[in-house]
Amino acid sequence: MNIASLMDFARFKPLAAWSLSSAVLGASMAFFLSDGHIAAPWPMAAAVACIVLMQYVSHPLNDITDREADSLEAMTATGRRKPLVDGSATVSEARALSMVIVATILVIMVGLIVFRPVLLAPAAYGMFAVMGYSHPGLRLSYRPLTELYLGVPVNMIAVLVIAFIGSGTVSFLSVAVAAAFGFAASSLFVSMMSMDYPSDSLNGKETTVVRYPRSHWCALFPAIGLGAFIISLPFAAALMSSAALLGYTVLSVAVFLALMAYGRKTDHLRFAHLDGRVDGMESRSNDLRLKQLYTSVLYAAGLSVIFLNMGV
């Protein structure tokens, strides 16, 4: 295995949309909740490293589970590079890499739990999500609705854990904002499942869109996130200035409407494929997925700016 393979396992775009965006948002929220004074910067930095490593290791683990299905995917059309498919890494090398990273994660987790024993619960859930998604005995990636019981909670917990370690507190606003971000970040996960519909349906991978191919799930999912944002408004109004509240509202509404629009196009592209009106849907689906990814990253960045300004 070479450096290029290690970089390919990273999947930097999803890494930016999920763990890195969660880290930036969580840290800015900690800055706001602590009135501009991070209570525990080094433990918070350790939590950031742990969360990034958890997402990283999920990629080689999932590639091992999906190596047969991945060999049938239109990799060129989607722009993805998978070392186990192109032969730049072997399964044994991917397993060894995963073992080293998981061991590192566990060491960091033990230290954080000693620092804050309450972190045992989110740490346990995080490891369940990482291992259960690809473990051959569970293979949650082959089951529907993982975006609801894994995708959203994992992104939400990542934000809250970092914010809690950095500030020593959790507020209703931070929970509601983390939930809205969780739906925004996971919208591209749903669209990715739609993009992979042709190969997943052939390989017994029963994701939500495989089980319900005629559903409008890619558009409905971010609409649920818009609902989470609406629920957060009373808490936001109680803690934010008028300018910050206006910025938060405009940003969130614009982001979720954009995610819904991209999701609607993704659904209709899948319908066209099912009706035989479109061949090779993967490339166009990937373009829409990437637009959702960039929108989600911008959402995290915009929210972070708002919280940082309020913490000054």
Q: Where are the alpha helices (DSSP H) in the chain?
A: 3-10, 12-15, 21-33, 41-65, 67-70, 75-78, 83-86, 91-115, 120-134, 146, 152-167, 172-195, 197-202, 208-211, 217-239, 242-274, 282-311
Structure tokens at 200: 């997943």
Cα–Cα distances in Å, from 132 out to 6, 119, 136, 148?
22, 19, 8, 15
Whole-angstrom Cα distance, residue 269 to residue 14? 22
Q: Are 310 and 240 in contact (CB under 8 A)?
A: yes
Whole-angstrom Cα distance, residue 142 to residue 138? 9
- Domain spans in the chain, listed from the N-terminal domain onward: 3-311
- What sign has the CA pseudo-torsion 226, 230, 236, 237? positive
Whole-angstrom Cα distance, residue 195 to residue 200? 9
Q: Are 182 and 147 in contact (CB under 8 A)?
A: no
For residue range 193-225, what is the model confidence (pLDDT) as tens digits? 999 998 888 888 899 999 999 999 999 999 999
For residue range 118-169, what is the model confidence (pLDDT) as tens digits? 999 999 999 999 999 988 888 898 899 999 999 999 999 999 999 999 999 9
Structure tokens at 10: 């990273």
The total of other beta-carbon atoms located within 10 Å of residue 9's CB is 25
pLDDT of 275 > 80? The answer is yes
For residue range 234-265, what is the model confidence (pLDDT) as tens digits? 999 998 999 999 999 999 999 999 999 999 99
Q: Would you put residue 130 in left (φ > 0), alpha (ψ -120 to 50) or beta?
A: alpha
**Angle at the Cα of 131 from the Cα atoms of 97 and 292, rounded to 5 degrees:** 90
Length of the chain: 312
What percent of the chain has pLDDT above 70?
96
- What sign has the CA pseudo-torsion 202, 208, 209, 213? positive
For residue range 279-304, what is the model confidence (pLDDT) as tens digits? 878 889 999 999 999 999 999 999 99
